[in-house]
Structure 1
Amino acid sequence: MGSLGNMENSPLTSRISTVVPATPRGDENGAYDLRYMDLLMKLHYIRAVLYFNNDAVQGLTIYDLKKPMFPLLDRYSHVSGRIRRSENGRPFIKCNDAGVRIAESHCELPLDEWVAGNGYSMDGLVHDHVLGPDLGFSPLVFVKFTSFRCGGLAVGLSWAHVLGDAFSALNFISHWSKIIAGHVPPKSLHVPPSSKPDLPPSLSDQSQNPISVKKAINVGEHWLAANHRNVETHSFRLAAKQLHHLVTTTISTDAASYFEILCAIVWKSLNRIRGNFCALNAVTICTTNGSNRREDEFPINGLEFSKVEADFAVAQSDVSALAMLIAEKKIVENQVMEKLVEEDEGKEDFLVYGANLTFVDLEEAGFYDVELNGRKPVMANCTFHGVGDEGVVVVLPAPEEDDDGGDGGGNGRMMTVVLPHNELEQLKIELQREWGIV
């Protein structure tokens, strides 16, 4: 991987190439019909970075990193396709072997200096890609390999959410790493049955107004919603000992998960920041609903979006009460969200992440299942592009090294937050002062 620029004096530059399926589909290429939930998520993009030390990439060339993509795309043929529209305007994927993009970059800094100077920021390590305005020519996936002076490597993924959720995106990269290790990919991927959650009776009066989604304005063929405020991203890292201490000393319940407790802390903190005139009494919770994903599962948008409402003052509430409210009072909105798409056959555009303050549970996502030369990432991070002004909070696992023999009972957590600039700066102060989270 040759040097493509000096990070200290210029932004990252890249050489870009295209990888296509190993077996051409030829005249047999067809169409992949997008589901309603896929179309709901079409304005969003999953961005993830996996950081590897030099011993993980010892002996691997850029050719070794690119080569597994060819057989992998045989199994994920629609991933290398392009968006088209049917005669009635509904988007679908044309499986035409147009390929995914590979970006190669180099950083003149060692990995530890990069992290020291940039924190857990993914800026420059993930290709800045969105679909459109020429939809028919826009790749659905970019993979960026950034080599560091020390020999370390960052693997950056930009994955159009219309293909599937973060669990699907990580499955894709996990299969890639297994092919590098010599494992034969599955001949075909398991397609889960299409199912719709039952609507609770309590939702019937609110079925036309789900809080987890809102219409986007004037998007057209450029699939990215405009923000009214400047949103920024920041990641907080909680070691296992710190997280365990936080829970045992400040939370009066052991029935809530780390995700639910962190949601409660941020929910309360943002209410204090916004004040009574902007009270945030309802939030969106995005979870897996406890269902395990198969390793060979076809990419899907299978997460559940639920609303949680508080009938008390959140800013003055106990964090334990908020955590239990999140754990026990979720009302799933997927079905009514999908009905919005069904009504106009996918021609309207919708915003999901950040339509309302959204908390996303990626605690069980397999960031550290990806291995190179038998070595796991030393760190991973993930966020979403195309987030609305209300913001999103993503909770994901931290590296195993966080649990340094303490009583944490597992790894720590990363918490990546996307919010308008002023709110994010105030949240940093609030979390450090009240909870020791930095």
Structure 2
Amino acid sequence: MSSLPSLETPHQSSRITTVVPLTPTLQGDEIVAYNLNYMDLLMKLHYIRSIYVFNSEVMQNLSLSDLKTPIYALLESCSHVSGRIRILESGRPFIKCNDAGVRVAETRCDKTLHEWFDEKEYSVEGFVPDHVLGPDLAFSPLVFVKFTHFKCGGLSVGMSWAHILGDAFSAFNFISKWSQILAGQAPPKSLHKQNLTKPQFSLNSVSDNPISIKRATCVEEYWLATNHSDVATHTFHITSNQLHHLVTPSTTSNNIKTKYFEIISAMIWKCIAQIRGDFGQTVVTICTTNISNRAENEFPTNGSVLSKIETNFPPDQANILDLANLITEKKMNENHVLEKIVEDGEGKEHFIVYGAKLTFVDLEEADFYEIKINGQKPIMVNCDFRGVHDEGVVLVLPGPEDTDGNNGRMITVSLPGKELDQLKCKLAGELGIQYLHFE
């Protein structure tokens, strides 16, 4: 059996347990297999890492053991989450629903939330286990949860979710259902499998020349692609007042409905193009998810739409409105051709999605702050992706509630380290955007 990743830092001590479904999935020697679709297989080298941070009031009359108990019931409705990866003779992976369980770490930290945030600058590092699949897939959990109890009484709930299970909204939904069971709601008996209808696009908005993925040429014992650059991650915060100034009547002209996501993505796209020079990044990937047609008790699924945006003008010199309108109106869907590429390879090949090209991910509609423990909403939520390649990824998420009761946006950016340092300077100097300050 492979050794577990180290969960301890100089300021933490951890205890690791395994949580399995309350009712066994296996009947005798029967193997229950969960077949993976093309989008699952595209995402198998990526991991979704999220944290939910709560103040000291949240743990009244609760123990860390109480936090773990709802996971047992939740796994009954989605047993493949506690399964393990297996490989068919053809080379195609699937999930064996063998009730091997998810890992849970219970951690105590000798720092306060203030001290931790001052040191970590809102990184998920330390809150979320260092989790990847491998070296022995038969013993690698697909989900790893970490509860951290701080000296001040605060709590963080961190989760590393193998993207092969489902997209970021599925990962968030898993935590949401956990919190509902913790609050006393009955667990769902089963989850609805989403009917993933193919989005309708006009002929000129469908791409036959995909740029949103690349083949991973160096994947060894771990399911994680090798980078040529040292990719680092940083989170910025745009307040609701800054959003108001970004999205003005002049940025919503020509009857084009522009979301905050498009404006923020255009702004970051232009900045990165200026940093990279040589006409800038003229082709980017947009990752969106239509969550309006998802059932309340949704089965985890990878329902993202990957689209490319191409521009024939220099993005480093462009008006932000022009780039935002391009993102809004000119997305070219690539899912249909990506499916063909995966299936032609019989699901055996490894691919990189996030960072194959500069990738913008729309998570604005995630209901992060509706998750409650003891009636308390999180004071801060963040998310990043592991397995990001050299071109980088930008996540746009809802931010915490401002003093005026409105929500801003969190922007979590993963780029090669030197480029990220330059982006920090640009956003701070030109727009006054800093990382989120803890209050």
- The TM-score range, normalised by the shorter chain, is over 0.9
Q: Scaled by the length of structure 2, what TM-score is found? A: 0.93
Q: Scaled by the length of structure 1, what TM-score is found? A: 0.93
Q: How many residue pairs are counted as aligned between the two chains?
A: 425
Alpha-carbon contact 1:135-1:221 (below 8 Å) kept: no
SS at match of 2:248: helix
Cα displacement (A) at 1:138: 0.3
- 2:139 corresponds to: 137
Cα displacement (A) at 1:185: 1.4
Alpha-carbon contact 1:133-1:222 (below 8 Å) kept: yes
Q: For the structure 1 residues 5 and 59, does the alpha-carbon distance in structure 2 shift closer, same or farther, using more than 3 Å as the test?
A: farther
Q: For the structure 1 residues 11 and 388, does the alpha-carbon distance in structure 2 shift closer, same or farther, using more than 3 Å as the test?
A: farther
Alpha-carbon contact 2:287-2:359 (below 8 Å) kept: yes
- 2:319 corresponds to: 318
Cα displacement (A) at 1:39: 0.3
Aligned pair partner of 1:151 in 145, 150, 153: 153
- 1:426 corresponds to: 422
Give the gaps of 5 or more residues in structure 1. Answer: none
- 1:360 corresponds to: 361
User: How far apart, CA to CA, are the structure 1 residues paired with 2:148 and 2:196?
Assistant: 38
**Per-residue CA distance 1:194-238 (angstroms, 9 max, x = gap):** 43345643367x52x311101001214421000000000000011
Q: For the structure 1 residues 325 and 316, does the alpha-carbon distance in structure 2 shift closer, same or farther, using more than 3 Å as the test?
A: same
AA partner of residue 82 (structure 1): R
- 2:20 corresponds to: 20
Q: Which stretch shifts more, 239-248 or 330-339?
A: 239-248
User: How far apart, CA to CA, are the structure 2 residues paired with 1:230 and 1:255?
Assistant: 37
Alpha-carbon contact 2:398-2:407 (below 8 Å) kept: yes
Q: Which stretch shifts more, 161-170 or 292-301?
A: 292-301
Aligned pair partner of 1:275 in 268, 274, 277: 277
AA partner of residue 328 (structure 1): E
AA partner of residue 419 (structure 2): E
Q: For the structure 1 residues 44 and 176, does the alpha-carbon distance in structure 2 shift closer, same or farther, using more than 3 Å as the test?
A: same
Aligned pair partner of 1:415 in 407, 411, 417: 411
Q: Which stretch shifts more, 193-202 or 33-42?
A: 193-202
- 2:175 corresponds to: 173
**Per-residue CA distance 1:338-381 (angstroms, 9 max, x = gap):** 11110011100000000000000111112112110111100000
1:294-305 equivalences in 2 (<5 Å)? 294-305=295-306
Q: Which stretch shifts more, 20-29 or 137-146?
A: 20-29
1:11-410 equivalences in 2 (<5 Å)? 12-26=12-26, 27=28, 28-198=30-200, 200-202=202-204, 207=208, 209-248=209-248, 251=251, 253=253, 255-276=257-278, 279-289=280-290, 291-400=292-401, 402=402, 404=404, 410=406
Alpha-carbon contact 1:264-1:323 (below 8 Å) kept: yes
Q: Which stretch shifts more, 374-383 or 288-297?
A: 288-297
User: How far apart, CA to CA, are the structure 1 residues paired with 2:290 and 2:73?
Assistant: 32
User: How far apart, CA to CA, are the structure 1 residues paired with 2:330 and 2:291?
Assistant: 15
Q: State the Cα RMSD in Å.
A: 1.9
**Per-residue CA distance 1:287-340 (angstroms, 9 max, x = gap):** 124634322010000011111111111111100111111011111111111111
- 2:3 corresponds to: none
Alpha-carbon contact 1:239-1:403 (below 8 Å) kept: no
Q: Which stretch shifts more, 302-311 or 111-120?
A: 111-120
Cα displacement (A) at 1:276: 1.3
Cα displacement (A) at 1:12: 3.6
Q: For the structure 1 residues 342 and 331, does the alpha-carbon distance in structure 2 shift closer, same or farther, using more than 3 Å as the test?
A: same
SS at match of 2:284: strand
SS at match of 1:169: helix
User: How far apart, CA to CA, are the structure 2 residues paired with 1:65 and 1:340?
Assistant: 42
User: How far apart, CA to CA, are the structure 2 residues paired with 1:354 and 1:51?
Assistant: 27
Cα displacement (A) at 1:250: 8.0
User: How far apart, CA to CA, are the structure 1 residues paired with 2:199 and 2:238?
Assistant: 34
User: How far apart, CA to CA, are the structure 2 residues paired with 1:84 and 1:331?
Assistant: 34
Cα displacement (A) at 1:112: 2.0
